[in-house]
Amino acid sequence: MMKNIFYILLLVFISQCKPKEDITITQFPGKPEVPSSIKKTHATLLEQIHKMTLYKDSSGRVAIKLEGMMEHHFKEEEDFILPPLGLLPLLANDQIPEQSKEIIHLSEKVKSQLNHMSAEHQLIKAYLEELKQASNIENLPEIIEFENEVFKHATSEEEVFFPVSILIGEYVKLKSVIKP
């Protein structure tokens, strides 16, 4: 019961982190693609958690909540945080995208949503902890392995992907100003 209250409070907090006027996702022609390696990782993690939702025990019930949270979180990341990373090959060749203003806007959105995304990571970690506890009861070692994979992925996002997405916007902004 206390866990449910904690999750409800955390969800209320997360919803408050997101400014109401900034709920829409920027859409524009030629929006860069999320790098395929990241999309593949997201798909693999969702496939793994989906298999766990089929367990007919306490870990299956927790996996259902975790799957919903992960689907929501990955969609947000793929909508506005990760697309700028698809520009890295273009930028490495010293080319600036035509939609510079839109890329800069996405980058600003990433900055404004870092607390929200971190809060979602904390909620995912809480669900993982609950799943791990259930797996100890049910003796399901694949859940421990899954938790480690999700933790490594979240760490990569927080330490590399999110900051690089912001830097891409700053770089494009700088290059747009300097452009002859």
The C-alpha atoms of residue 65 and residue 128 are separated, in whole angstroms, by 10
Tell whether pTM > 0.85. no
pLDDT at 134 over 90: no
| Mean pLDDT, range 102-129, rounded to an integer | 93
Please answer whether residues 110 and 31 qualify as being in contact, where contact means their C-beta atoms are separated by less than 8 angstroms.
no
What are the two backbone dihedrals, phi and then psi, of residue 31, each rounded to the nearest 5 degrees?
A: -55, 130
Please answer whether residues 33 and 83 qualify as being in contact, where contact means their C-beta atoms are separated by less than 8 angstroms.
yes
Please answer whether residues 105 and 26 qualify as being in contact, where contact means their C-beta atoms are separated by less than 8 angstroms.
yes
* 40 Cβ neighbours under 8 A, 6+ residues apart: none
Residue 3's pLDDT is 59
- Write the pLDDT tens digit of every residue in 23-61: 444 445 567 889 999 999 999 999 999 999 998 888 899
The C-alpha atoms of residue 81 and residue 112 are separated, in whole angstroms, by 11
